[in-house]
């Protein structure tokens, strides 16, 4: 009887082993299938979240600032004294470069013209802005942040209004205290008021349009004094892609009581800024 039982057990063992192997294989297959699906989903998710970094800015280098301004434009901005020797005249228009430790990042140049009537100063500066993490901000984005900070420091609103001052008509009325056909010094007829003296309009500081990607103009007039002449300084800052350009133009008469006109000083600085913007677009 015992022999029969042992024979039956030996006959059942291969079947049990086969069933166990099949069950383990099925479980392993299911596990592999599930793992593969999770891995694929994870890869797809990671790939969709990784945004490509921003491209570098348009400009990789900066022009030489002392050579960036046309000599003809310099002569209009900085008229030299008539008795200035030729070698000193050449040195005046050659300019003096600012000290720079990285000519591809920040450069500038300055000019000074003095005469018996006035002193004029001009400076031009170029700054190339670079983003050290273009996955977060592009070079252009960083340059715009620098521009907005300078705009805020100038206490101008952003984006700011764009104003255009209407030209003041040339007065045609006779001088105060005279009437047409009357001798000088005679009083005006009863019921009339003398024409007040006119002065050029003050255009003031403002945001500019049509200059680079964005621009502003800062116009400052120094305080008047009994012996000190008032100096007017016009600073224009504009951004073109990842480069910021600064033009600063100052006019100071030699004698007090003479105020440099706002329209003329601003117009000269704007023409130079427009020249530089076109140079970058070439």
Q: Is residue 39 part of a domain?
A: no
The predicted structure's pLDDT at residue 147: 97
Map tokens 């890869």 to a residue: 43
Quote the CA–CA distance of 275 and 240 in Å, as a whole number. 13
Q: Is residue 238 part of a domain?
A: yes
Q: Is residue 282 part of a domain?
A: no
Q: Is residue 118 part of a domain?
A: yes
- Least Cα distance to 198 among 168, 231, 167 occurs for 168
**pLDDT tens, residue by residue, 219-277:** 999 987 777 788 999 999 999 999 999 999 999 999 888 899 999 999 999 999 999 99
Check whether 52 has a pLDDT greater than 50: yes
**pLDDT tens, residue by residue, 55-107:** 888 999 999 999 999 999 999 999 998 889 999 999 999 999 999 889 999 99
Q: State both tokens at 102.
A: 């990285």
Q: Is residue 252 part of a domain?
A: yes
Q: Is residue 268 part of a domain?
A: no
Mean pLDDT of all residues belonging to the chain: 77
Give every CB contact of residue 220 below 8 A, 6+ residues apart in sequence.
Answer: 205, 232, 233, 234, 235
Give me the domain span that covers residue 102: 55-162+200-259
Q: Is residue 40 part of a domain?
A: no
**How many domains are there within the chain?**
1
What is the mean pLDDT of the segment spanning 32-45? Answer: 43
Q: Is residue 281 part of a domain?
A: no
The predicted structure's pLDDT at residue 8: 45
């Amino acid at each position: 009887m015992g022999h029969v039982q042992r024979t039956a057990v030996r006959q059942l063992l291969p079947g049990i082993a086969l069933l166990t192997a099949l069950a383990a294989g099925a479980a392993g297959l299911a596990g592999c299938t599930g793992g593969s699906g999770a891995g694929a989903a994870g890869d797809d998710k990671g790939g969709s979240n990784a945004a490509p970094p921003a491209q570098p800015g348009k400009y990789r280098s900066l022009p030489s600032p002392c050579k960036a301004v046309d000599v003809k434009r310099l002569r209009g901005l900085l008229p030299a004294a008539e008795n200035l020797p030729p070698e000193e005249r050449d040195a005046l228009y050659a300019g003096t470069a600012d000290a720079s430790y990285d000519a591809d990042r920040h450069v500038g140049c300055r000019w000074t013209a003095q005469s018996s009537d006035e002193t004029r100063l001009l400076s031009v500066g170029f700054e190339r802005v670079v983003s050290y993490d273009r996955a977060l901000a592009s070079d252009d984005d960083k340059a715009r942040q620098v521009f907005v900070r300078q705009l805020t420091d100038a206490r101008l609103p952003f984006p700011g209004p764009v104003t255009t001052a209407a030209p003041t008509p040339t007065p045609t009325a006779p001088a105060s205290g005279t009437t047409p056909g009357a001798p000088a010094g005679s009083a005006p007829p009863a019921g009339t008021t003398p024409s007040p003296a006119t002065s050029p309009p003050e255009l003031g500081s403002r945001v500019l349009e049509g200059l680079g990607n964005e621009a502003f103009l800062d116009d400052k007039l120094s305080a008047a004094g009994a012996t000190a002449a008032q100096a007017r300084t016009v600073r224009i800052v504009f951004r073109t892609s990842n480069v910021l350009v600064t033009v600063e133009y100052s006019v100071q008469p030699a004698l007090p009581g003479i105020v440099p006109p706002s329209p003329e000083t601003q117009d000269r600085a704007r023409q130079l800024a427009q020249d530089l913007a076109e140079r970058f677009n070439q």
